[in-house]
Amino acid sequence: MNNDLPTGWTTVRLADVLREPLVNGRSLRTRQDGFPVLRATALRPVRVDFTQTKGGDWTAHDSAPALAEPDDLLVSRASGSLALVGEGALVDAPPSPTTFPDTMIRVRVLPSLVDPRYLAHLWNSPVVRRQIEACARQGGAAIYRINHGDLAQILLPLPAPGEQARIAALVENHLARINATTTRTRRALEQADELNQTMSARASVGRLSGADRAPGDLTPAGTHDGALPFLPADWRWTRLENVADVTLGVTKNSRRQWDPADVEVPCLRVANVQRGRLALEDVHSIRLPLQRAQAARLRTGDVILTGGGDRGQLGRGWIWEEQLPDCVHQNHVFRARITGQQLHPKLLAWHANGFGRQWCERNATQVTGLASIGLGKIRMMPVPVAPAEEQQRLVALVDAHLTALQTASAAAERAVAVADRLRSNLLQQAFTGQLPDAFHPLGQQESSP
């Protein structure tokens, strides 16, 4: 806590400004048509989102002690993320009576001492977040928790009530500008990603030129192929097994006796294989006999495809380019190795992320909430093949456009990061008495009247 506060400011404990004792919500069974109860996702930054509710097995009478009422601050008691435990959100006007669960703590302050809007912004500022994270405890299952005693000792920097209202209004004005810019930037990122996916998918079926196109023709193979896209006249449809050697990866066997001669190698799992990219920040390792590790090692140009997980994620993938030495892949991930240079790996990966996504959904097997597609079936995925020269032209054309998109996206991501820092700096200044009326969080200059 900064001790160099402006004249007229004081530092008080939360316990000293409470109108009522801190209260937990209640635990209850879920009932589809029951009394509305907030979900954990309702605690958005600053304000409670009342669209995030579920039905609880309570009556209106049972719910009365745990109703969320205007000016309440609801605080998260636990989270798997240290950055989210103790997160607080202000209750505005609930659209209908709604209760809060036992995963939240209700804070009610004396409005004569603390402006609730001021408290909500202060609670999400670095001034309070540092205190919460310092006293949060990590328990079982790596869950961080905070209790009433911890919250009661949180120190709050407070100016006079009138100044609190002025600061809250200024903060909301500046945050609105930052948030509007961030929203536009994030939408631009989404549009760039959509354009990326659309362009690469169209390229894989020859839809980037005005060439005459003919209906798809492919011998049935017992799969649900659907209507195949038309292809340019000099293209052809075939099955994946005809252009690539497709194999499963290694199986992790915890019962296998450890052998000192085994080697430890990185192993890609489903989470590492995203649509159009490989996420290699967290790659697990596996111990294998040397011969098995060498046989399963990925090579440059291999197309990695997912074979298990959520139904909409099947078949997603990208190209291996020796990002990690001696890397293998697990048994829920397929490796497609192009044979005879019949097809450029990028065209196969783009096709799998476009047409292949819907094809895998149609042909998947669903078991206990998870979907999967077998090796024999993925080998039957329809694949378009263009003449060799056309493949090279398409890859060069699309790569040039995607590189430009990636450059723009990287700039947008940097802008979002800057906005996050500006938001944090704004709140730090606001609640240490350093926020002037003319603060310009985005660097704009006010024009003269």
**Region 181-189 average pLDDT:** 92
- Give the number of other Cβ atoms within 10 Å of residue 329's Cβ: 26
Q: Work out whether strand 236-239 and strand 382-385 pair parallel, antiparallel, or are unpaired.
A: antiparallel
Residue 155, token pair as written in the block: 């120190």
- DSSP assignment of 20-52, as one string? S--EE-B---EEEEEEEEE-GGGB-SEEB-TTS
- What is the Rg, in whole angstroms, of the alpha carbon atoms belonging to the chain? 28
Residues linked to residue 79 through DSSP beta bridges, in sequence order: 144
**Looking at residues 192-201, what average pLDDT do you find?**
90
- Segment 138-153 mean pLDDT: 89
Evaluate whether 10-158 and 212-385 have a shared fold: yes
pLDDT in tens, 227-282: 999 999 999 999 999 999 999 999 877 556 677 889 999 999 999 999 999 999 99
Cβ proximity of 159 and 8 under 8 Å? yes
Task: Please give the pLDDT value at position 216.
Answer: 81
Confidence band (pLDDT; 50, 70, 90) for 309? confident
pLDDT on residue 445 = 39
Write down the pLDDT at residue 254. 58
- Cβ within 8 Å of residue 93, ≥6 positions away: 70
- Please check the confidence at residue 49 and state whether its pLDDT lies above 90: yes
Domain map (residue ranges) of the chain = 10-158, 160-206+389-449, 212-385
Tokens standing for residue 103: 């995963």
List CB contacts of 68: < 8 A, sequence separation 6 or more: 38, 48, 74, 91, 94, 98, 99, 100, 106
Average pLDDT, the chain: 90
Contacts of 45 (CB under 8 A, 6+ apart): 87, 89, 124
Closest by CA to 126, choosing from 418, 425, 439, is 425
* CB-CB contact of 240 with 378 (8 Å): yes
Q: CA-CA distance, 367 to 371, in Å (whole number)? A: 6
Q: Contact at 8 Å (CB) between 31 and 61?
A: no
Q: At what angle do helices 161-204 and 116-123 cross, to 10 degrees?
A: 50
Instruction: Give CA–CA dist 300/238, Å, rounded.
Output: 23
- Residue count (the chain): 449
Distance (Å, rounded) from C-alpha 222 to C-alpha 381? 11
Q: pTM for the complete prediction?
A: 0.71
Considering only 152-166, 205-219, 428-442, which range has the smallest mean pLDDT?
428-442
Give the CA distances from residue 124 to residues 40, 118, 119, 433, in Å, rounded to whole numbers and listed in that order. 16, 10, 9, 16
Lowest mean pLDDT among 60-74, 159-173, 280-294: 60-74
Whether residue 80 contacts residue 87, with contact meaning beta carbons closer than 8 Å, is answered with: no
Q: Which residues contact 219 (CB under 8 A, 6 or more apart)?
A: none
DSSP string for 75-100: EE-EESSTTTTT-EEE----SS--B-
Token pair recorded at residue 446: 């006010």
The single-letter DSSP state of residue 109 is B
Average pLDDT, integer, range 135-142: 83
Query: To the nearest whole percent, how much of the chain has pLDDT over 90?
Result: 73
Nearest to residue 50, comparing CAs of 96, 116, 11?
96
CA contacts within 13 A on the Cβ side of 1: 17
| Count of beta carbons in the 10 Å neighbourhood of residue 339 | 12
Contacts of 364 (CB under 8 A, 6+ apart): 311, 314, 371, 372, 373
Q: What is the mean pLDDT of residues 55-65?
A: 83
Which of these CATH numbers, 3.40.50.2300, 1.10.645.10, 3.65.10.10, 3.90.220.20, describes 10-158?
3.90.220.20
**Banded model confidence at residue 371, pLDDT cuts 50, 70, 90:** confident
- Quick one: how many helices (H) and strands (E) in the chain? 11, 28
Read off the pLDDT band of 126 (50, 70, 90).
very high
Q: Rounded to a whole number, what is the distance in angstroms from the first to the last CA of the chain?
A: 39
212-385 has which fold?
Adenine-n6-DNA-methyltransferase TaqI; Chain A, domain 2 (3.90.220)
Let me know the angle formed at the C-alpha of 8 by 4 and 10, rounded to the nearest 5 degrees.
65
> According to the model, what pLDDT value does residue 257 have?
66
Q: Could you tell me the two tokens for 41? A: 């996702």
